[in-house]
Amino acid sequence: MRGICGFIHIDGQVVAPDELAAMQGALALTPWSVATQEVSPHAALAEVQWAKQPRHAEQRGIARDPTSGCVVVADAHLRDKTALAKRLGVPAHHPDTNNDAALILRAWQHWREHALQHLDGEFAFAVHDPRRQVIFLARDRMGIRPLYLHLTHGRLLAFASSARAVLAHPRVPRDLNEARIADFLVTQLEGIDKTSTFHAHVQRLPPAHCVLVDRDGARRQRYWSLADEPASSVARSDDEWAEALRDALQAAVRHHLAGHRAGAMVSGGMDSSTLAALAAAELRSTGMGPLRTYSLVDSRSPNSETRAVHAMLRLNGFAPRLLDHASVGAIADATWQHAWQCEEPFDAMMLPLHAPYFAAAADGEEGVLDGVDGDMPFLVGNGLARRLRRGHVLETWRNVQGLARTYPMGPTASQQFLQVVRRAVVPDWARTLRQGWRPSASHSTDETDGIIHPDFAHHVDLPARLDGLDHWTARMPHWSARAEAEEALDHPFLTVGVERYHRVAASHGIQPLHPFLDRHCLGFYLNLPDRQRLQGGWTKAVLRRAMVGRLPELVLRRQDKQHLGWARTQALLQRHHRDVVERLQAQQELLRPYVAPQAIAQALATPLQAAADSDDWALLFNLATLANWLDRQSSPGQTQAKVQRTLAFEN
């Protein structure tokens, strides 16, 4: 795994040695980090390798063409490199055929900006082309690899795999973007967009976007969308759909295992268990293995997730590491320390994941397979109403019966059926008419649970931000399964989730691997019929069928969403209760402009033995980590925080 960084002085200023060194230092996340760089008079590009294992020359993330002077730095894992090399005319046994950066450089020289149409896989890269006096940056289609930018028009472009590394450049202002602090305090706003960061002068390059920067400015464009993805081969029977999905996921897992020492998360759910089973089978077929797996368990009391984990790990082909909530020691201590070093406040709630990533790094792994993104592709959405509109009354009734059995505390089958009937029979024109009668402002500052300071909510125009989040979701029900799938897979919620996992894993030198988001699976999801998403009340019906005989029955038939992440966080909080309270007491003044006084008082009053389902622990931890993060952003040269973004692109 690696991070990349670099900059170009558009105004012709000469590169100073300390500029690149500072950015590289911010990317050196592990004691064994190794940096490589290419420096010219006005531009500097670098990679920082995080892997413990020695890397061969063909795995370097920097490539330079001595004739043209073009340089590429890339955090990439391309798919079908052999086919790409052949299209580029690279001889079969040439070292470049296995080097992602070298192939990207050749693709740039051959196709220029159109190279992105020929690249498949995960990537974030920058090309400096001194002949044209341009720098070109791009990010992969689903945003698996991150890329952050700062641009001062006519003067400086800086980029890196993390916002922290961009901010390390001495000419990048560190002003805060206070609107993003509001997003943290109103949790759902984390997914408001795909560009903003906690700093006013740093942005994320969105997935499937590229930007070309020269003396005349920056031109950003989207080079791909889900709507461009062709239909996958149409399968007919349930068994054919299941086989097609299994084949697509197996190929995706094979791609992610290639070139990595990789382990796998196993939570006992369908998604992570599917990937682990396919990965173990792939390793067995090549004479490798076993697959190292990492699981959070809780021995303190019986729970469905721990039972499912144990059932899963009784299969052949695994070398399991179990991380128990009740345990103490080096991993627990290291996990706790990471709470106070997170790059973004959002990352603090990922605290439990530090344990498996810490263990994976200690085992020498470079990547870890994760099924966290396995829900979005199989969302049911408006599928029940669509099926009912097509006359599948009995099927709809059986589905709501199954859902009622799975969730007995929710609406009854009859209540759910009536809701589906209403949704199916009410015409869209009636919905439009009803919505037209509503006030134009659909949100208010009353939706924040009293956490955000009212003056601050007004300052950032919180209702407008909530409305902005709503714009990612259609106001009318979807009557096309594909349109609904495109909306779900394109929502910023998926992007920010992937980015959060990357930041946490990267702090241990680990690359999180996401086979569910492989491009070759996307066409399958987009064309998946509603019947394959929900059948007999069973969600992810096609995935369950695909894994029959490959997963334990306990996992295949698991419907609950119990997850031990918060339980582990709460166990750590109870163990370190005094530390959290003392931190918040010492730094609470930093929160005063943003957080309502009563929320701070409530957090500080959280008792040590708070109820297991209490929100008090979450409030205490969130405010303590936000205050800690704000304290770490302050510096003697810090200018007053602003609610603004300075990156502007010409579309």
- Which pLDDT band holds residue 650 (cuts at 50, 70, 90)? very low
* Sequence-ordered strand ranges (E) for 209-283: 209-214, 217-222, 262-265
Chain mean pLDDT for the chain: 90
Encoding tokens for residue 102? 């070298």
Q: Which residues pair with 76 in a beta bridge?
A: 123
Query: What is the per-residue DSSP string for 128-184?
Result: EETTTTEEEEEE-TT--S--EEEEETTTEEEEESSHHHHHTSTTS---BBHHHHHHH
- Closest CA relative to residue 202, chosen from 149, 155, 137: 149
Q: What is the mean pLDDT of residues 568-597?
A: 90
Q: Which amino acid is at 538?
A: W
Are 136 and 126 in contact by the 8 Å Cβ rule? The answer is yes
Buried b (16+ CB within 10 A) or exposed e, 415-426: ebbeebeebbee
Question: Which 8-state DSSP code applies to residue 57?
Answer: G
Encoding tokens for residue 437? 């009668």
* Sequence-ordered strand ranges (E) for 317-470: 318-324, 367-369
pLDDT at 620 over 70: yes
Helix axes 577-587, 597-604, angle to 10 degrees: 150
pLDDT digits (tens, 9 = 90+) for 480-538: 999 999 999 999 999 999 999 999 999 999 999 999 999 989 999 999 999 999 999 99
Spell out the domain ranges in the chain: 2-224, 228-376+493-565
* CA-to-CA separations, 511 to 51, 145, 189, 417, 504, in angstroms, rounded: 9, 9, 26, 44, 10
pLDDT digits (tens, 9 = 90+) for 410-431: 999 999 999 999 999 999 888 8
Q: Tokens 């009995």 appear where?
A: 394
Cα 90 to Cα 78: distance, rounded to the nearest angstrom? 16
Cα 595 to Cα 105: distance, rounded to the nearest angstrom? 48
pLDDT at 236 over 90: no
Are 8 and 134 in contact by the 8 Å Cβ rule? The answer is no
- Closest CA relative to residue 576, chosen from 336, 341, 297: 336
User: Does the CA dihedral 635-639-641-644 come out positive or negative?
Assistant: negative
pLDDT at 57 over 50: no
Cα 315 to Cα 320: distance, rounded to the nearest angstrom? 11
Cα 145 to Cα 387: distance, rounded to the nearest angstrom? 37
Encoding tokens for residue 569? 């966080």
Encoding tokens for residue 515? 């086979």
Q: Which amino acid is at 31?
A: P
- Which pLDDT band holds residue 215 (cuts at 50, 70, 90)? confident
pLDDT digits (tens, 9 = 90+) for 265-297: 999 899 999 999 999 999 999 999 899 999 999
Higher pLDDT, 337 or 345: 345
Which residues define the annotated binding site?
Answer: 100
pLDDT at 363 over 50: yes
Neighbours of 47 (CB within 10 A): 25
pLDDT at 595 over 70: yes
For domain 228-376+493-565, the CATH class is alpha beta
Cα 186 to Cα 450: distance, rounded to the nearest angstrom? 10
* Sequence-ordered strand ranges (E) for 200-270: 203-204, 209-214, 217-222, 262-265
pLDDT at 445 over 70: no
**pLDDT value of residue 448:** 64
What is the arrangement of strands in the sheet containing 156-160, beginning at the earlier edge strand? 34-39, 43-49, 2-9, 156-160, 148-152, 203-204
Encoding tokens for residue 56? 């061969």
**pLDDT value of residue 636:** 38
Q: Which residues pair with 369 in a beta bridge?
A: 264, 513
Higher pLDDT, 457 or 639: 457
Q: What residues contact residue 618 under an 8 Å CB cut-off, 6+ apart?
A: none
pLDDT at 635 over 60: no
**pLDDT value of residue 581:** 93
Which residues define the annotated binding site for L-glutamine?
Answer: 100
**pLDDT value of residue 617:** 83
**289: buried, middle or exposed (CB in 10 Å: 19+, 13-18, 0-12)?**
middle
Cα 592 to Cα 605: distance, rounded to the nearest angstrom? 17
Are 73 and 126 in contact by the 8 Å Cβ rule? The answer is yes
Encoding tokens for residue 323? 């991380």
User: Does the CA dihedral 158-163-165-168 come out positive or negative?
Assistant: positive
290: cis peptide before it, omega within 30°?
A: yes
Cα 603 to Cα 594: distance, rounded to the nearest angstrom? 15
pLDDT digits (tens, 9 = 90+) for 70-124: 999 999 999 999 999 999 999 988 988 889 999 999 999 999 999 999 999 999 9
Are 377 and 527 in contact by the 8 Å Cβ rule? The answer is no
Q: What residues contact residue 220 under an 8 Å CB cut-off, 6+ apart?
A: 205, 209, 210, 211, 649, 650, 651
- Closest CA relative to residue 28, chosen from 165, 146, 128: 165
pLDDT at 221 over 60: yes
User: What architecture does CATH give domain 2-224?
Assistant: 4-Layer Sandwich (3.60)
Q: Tokens 């020492």 appear where?
A: 261
**pLDDT value of residue 646:** 36
Cα 459 to Cα 642: distance, rounded to the nearest angstrom? 11
